A and B are shown apart, each in its own frame.
Chain A
Amino acid sequence: MRLHEFQAKRLLTDYGLPIPRGAVALTADEAEAVARDLGTSPIAVKAQIHAGERLAAGGVRMAHGPSMAKSAASALLGQRLVTRQTDDEGQIVRRVYVEEGVAIERSIYLALMIDASGALVAVGGREGGDGVEERKRKGEFTSETLVLSVNEPIDPADLSTFIARIGLEGRAAVAAAALVEGLRRAFIELDASLIEINPLAVTASGEIKALDVKMTLDDNALFRHPDLGSLRDEVEGDRVKLSAHRDQLNFVQLDGDIGLVSNGAGLGLATLDMVCAAGGKPANFMDIRTTAKSLDIAHGFALLLDNPKIRTLLLNVHGGGMQSCDTIAEGLGIALRRSGRKLPIVVRLAGLNADLGRYRLANFGCAVIETADMGEAASRAVSVAAGRA
């Protein structure tokens, strides 16, 4: 679950994160009032969306004085912001964060995450700031890594070596050492999957300030944090995805015309690859989880049947020990009856209860195009969608 910058900053100040003064505004007038209360200049007016690289996209604006802050806020609020990390439609800005400007002497990069080997690590870079994403894309970003324990505080000697390697000294180094340990506690206590501070600014007087924070929480651990669940921004999140999540599905909307249904993420990806290789355009990626019941699956099919772009459905199922063909067939039957929509359905059922699945489809009155293997199923679905049947 992604958090907004203002949510992450609020959570992490309890763990010692030093941040500039600031507050959230829902309207331009509120932004002006916040700027007046801050009483400093310049002031940063920052769009709160679930994507980075906002500065380059005009989502972070510097203002001198309350009236400029107001006009900056009104230029952002209600608008769609497209950054390199959003899709082409961007995200609607519903809030801005109004924050005092900081005179930056240097910008550091600091993040905590779980790495590919399954260890909790702190990653630091001497040169933080806006250029990090671009340098990473070019492979020019150099970083230091420190492995952290989930059970014990960080060894002070290891920590000071890490801090020195990312170029911090004196007061800033002392403050940063306390910060890394605080963030380690926050990461564990809040079940985070990412905390990224970029930039961590060093001021002329040697203070450190977190100017931007990106934070995600582990969805699988939210059951331990009922209070944090309320931070989910339903408007910002993808509604289709949320409803699919509730129904034990993983669902990603794409813009093609072939609706795909498979059990298991691996078979789902394989189906997507085969359809693309045959020249087709998938409308989605869907993985039916093993715990999904036929009614959950029917909701998943409804997501597809509600999409007017879809010209055909491709059902590629290999029944396994946890999810059998007949359960999925039943889900399809229920969804088709509910929606009343008629469209060609290319079916390949194999494995557990494949015959029972076919029987169920016939009982629901589903007219299906049966195929023998999944290669044939993919190419058939592509020709059906192209109107060649």
Chain B
Amino acid sequence: MAILIDHDTRIMVQGMTGWAGTHHTIQMMEYGAKVVAGVRPGKGGRSHLNLPIFDTVAEAKGATGANASIIFVPPATAAAAMIEAIEAEIPLVVTVTERVPALDMVRVREALKGSRTRLVGANSQGVLAPGICKLGVMATGSERPGGVGIVSRSASLTSEVVAQVTAAGLGQSTTVGVGGDAIHGLGMRECLELFLADPETDGVVLIGEIGGSEEQEVADYIAQVRPAKPIVALIVGAHAPRERRMGHAGALTIGGSGEAAAKVAALERAGVTVASSAHLVGRTIAEALAGAR
């Protein structure tokens, strides 16, 4: 079993007819994911990759019973695509698009409030359940089914950690990229809750970095619930040059609280094992799982 996606996930692709949409739709289908529809305003009624194309998300959902969407729409209209999917009550939406304007994401977050949608991203590589379903753009080949849940802010580090976990003789239940942008949908904490509730997930790897406060929120949550499952974290950016911000306001939101050392300290206080280097994550979670048995 996995979190967020399973064998019954029926995927529609918003922006399927473009280069990225076409390429990754083929990749997802080759992995065995059930892609059932594409959405491209103005091209409704046609077909692409032998799949029906619809003008709107609501039509695609009504005709095919799609229960998840992945968005490859360019930045200028990505927010409209996300809001359309939220209004059509698609339960799970992954947005791959990068460089979505920040205020557009504020609007998307307002639309998410009280909705029935879980949004992953924007700027996310998506969700992968090895051997079950791929709703994303990540490379496959290193993953294998298993008990390690991975939640990450970085696509490239996720690929790296997946390979390390497999090399350590373990597998992954699900990998989730929450997205590389400051403002996104599903957070690390909510993702961790899902992993803790999932009986097939034995341990969790959190991949965080400098900036923002999500890692602190996760640490507070872990300190509060004290989960039995081992949790390993990697925080990158300890040696990044301090960004010089123009005013005081940047520091109010990011500043000292975003520093890697503070995140590491908060996680360690909560009982999380923090990997000492990025190349040791696989080994660290393997040891933590062995110790927990």
Contacts and interface: CB of A to CB of B under 8 A. Distances in A.
Contacts of B147: none
Interface in B232-280: 234, 236-241, 244-255, 277-280
A290 to B, nearest CB: 7
A113 interface: yes
B32 interface: no
B277 A375 contact: yes
Contact of B109 (A119, A132, A266): A119
Given A143-B252, A274-B278, A375-B280, A85 B246 contact: yes
B125 interface: yes
B110 A136 contact: no
Given A86-B244, A119-B109, A321-B125, A266 B251 contact: no
Contact of B244 (A51, A111, A273, A322): A51
Interface hub of B138, B248, B254, B278 (most chain A Cβ within 10 A)? B248
Contacts of B142: 351
A51 B246 contact: yes
Contacts of A52: 246-248
Interface of A is mostly: mixed
A320 interface: yes
A118 B122 CA distance: 13
B37 to A, nearest CB: 21
B155 A116 contact: no
Contacts of A85: 244-246
Contacts of B237: 269, 272-273
B75 interface: yes
Interface stretch (B43-51, B86-94, B206-214): B206-214
Interface string A317-353: 0111110100000000000000000000000001110
B15 to A, nearest CB: 14
A234 interface: no
Contacts of A218: 101-103
A266 B248 contact: no
A188 B107 CA distance: 11
B63 interface: no
A374 interface: yes
A382 interface: no
Contact of A321 (B139, B154, B163, B253): B139
A149 B239 CA distance: 37
Contact of B279 (A2, A113, A216, A274): A274
Contact of A350 (B160, B210, B239, B280): B160
Nearest to A2: B246
B223 interface: no
Contact of A220 (B100, B107, B153, B255): B100
B76 A223 contact: yes
- The winner among B109, B138, B155 for most chain A CB atoms within 10 A is B155
A321 B127 CA distance: 13
Interface string A251-284: 0101000000011111111111111110000100
Contacts of A51: 244, 246
A41 B213 CA distance: 47
B292 interface: no
B80 interface: no
Contact of B246 (A109, A216, A275, A319): A216
B116 interface: no
Contacts of B139: 319-321, 324, 351-352
Interface string A1-23: 01000000000000000000000
A51 B246 CA distance: 5
Contacts of A196: 247-249
B152 interface: yes
18 contacts: A115-B253, A191-B101, A191-B102, A194-B247, A194-B249, A220-B101, A224-B101, A262-B156, A264-B156, A270-B234, A272-B240, A289-B98, A319-B139, A320-B138, A321-B136, A321-B155, A322-B125, A322-B137
Interface of B: 24, 27, 75-76, 98-107, 109-110, 125, 136-142, 152-160, 163, 180, 182-184, 207, 209-210, 212-213, 234, 236-241, 244-255, 277-280
Interface of A: 2, 50-52, 85-87, 109, 111, 113-116, 118-120, 123, 132-133, 136, 141, 143, 149-151, 187-188, 191, 193-194, 196, 198, 214, 216, 218, 220-221, 223-224, 252, 254, 262-277, 282, 285, 289-291, 318-322, 324, 350-352, 373-375, 378
